[in-house]
Every structure is written in structure tokens, then in C-alpha cells.
């Protein structure tokens, strides 16, 4: 069995996320998603999520491409996750190009091209703009 792992926040899940998860799953038999916890996002990534960890986890677990969701608590856990879950392939979006090449000592590392025209930051901006221009 080929095991694949990817990491992310997956806030306001959109088709760019789905494209990445679909491509990741196509690489193997079992896809693990390490989902950034609320604390990790706030304290280490300086991100505030619209959806909390449990909401994001529930959404990811409902997707046919995802076999297991685990918490991402810190930057350093990647090597131990790869070893613990016997991961063969680590993959991320191309916005992380070369950042995780040190993992090549443990598994294959692949960077996928980002989906053009979509990002979580863009989506959040669109939602904020909609509220500013609406009469709500």
C-alpha cells in the first residue's frame, strides 16, 4: 500500500483544495491529511480561521479522497508523522516549493501546481467585500 501525506489548514474548503487532495490521492492508496490545529494556526502561522479545527476536520473526513485526518500541532512533526504512518510520498502545493526537500531522506516529495484563480485569502477577501457592500 502506498501512503501519501499532505498538510494544511483547509479553511473555507474550495476547489483548489479539492484539486490538491484529488491529485494527492491519485499518487497512492491511502491519503493522510495533517490538519493545522487552531492553536498552531494562531500561534505559529499567524492565521485566524473562519472554521474551527473540528469543523474543518469533519469536512475533510467526508471527502472521498481523504482516508485519515490527523492534527498538525507544529512545524517539526513531519518526520515523525512520516515514520509513524509509514508514508511513501509527501506532497504540498507549489507555493511551498523546495521548503520540504529535507524530507526526501524519508520519502518521495512532490509539489503540485496551485489551482489558478483561487486561494483561501482570495475567498476571505471576497466574503468581506460582500458584507461591506451588502445591506446586511
d(CA 27, CA 90): 10
Active-site residue flag, 45: yes
Given 22, 25, 45, 99, the catalytic residue = 45
Number of neighbouring beta carbons within 10 Å of residue 124 = 15
Known active-site residue 104? no
**Catalytically annotated residue among 47, 57, 78, 132:** 47
Residues annotated as catalytic are 45, 47
Amino acid at each position: 500500500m502506498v501512503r501519501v501525506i499532505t498538510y494544511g489548514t483547509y479553511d473555507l474548503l474550495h476547489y483548489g483544495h479539492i484539486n490538491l487532495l484529488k491529485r494527492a490521492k491519485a499518487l497512492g492508496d491511502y491519503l493522510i491529511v495533517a490538519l493545522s490545529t487552531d492553536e498552531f494556526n494562531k500561534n505559529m502561522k499567524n492565521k485566524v480561521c473562519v472554521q474551527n479545527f473540528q469543523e474543518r476536520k469533519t469536512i475533510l473526513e467526508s471527502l472521498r479522497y481523504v482516508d485519515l485526518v490527523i492534527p498538525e500541532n507544529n512545524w517539526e512533526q513531519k518526520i515523525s508523522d512520516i515514520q509513524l504512518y509509514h508514508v511513501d510520498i509527501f506532497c504540498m502545493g507549489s507555493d511551498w516549493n523546495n521548503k520540504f526537500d529535507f524530507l526526501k531522506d524519508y520519502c518521495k516529495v512532490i509539489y503540485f501546481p496551485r489551482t489558478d484563480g483561487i486561494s483561501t485569502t482570495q475567498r476571505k477577501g471576497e466574503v468581506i467585500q460582500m458584507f461591506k457592500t451588502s445591506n446586511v
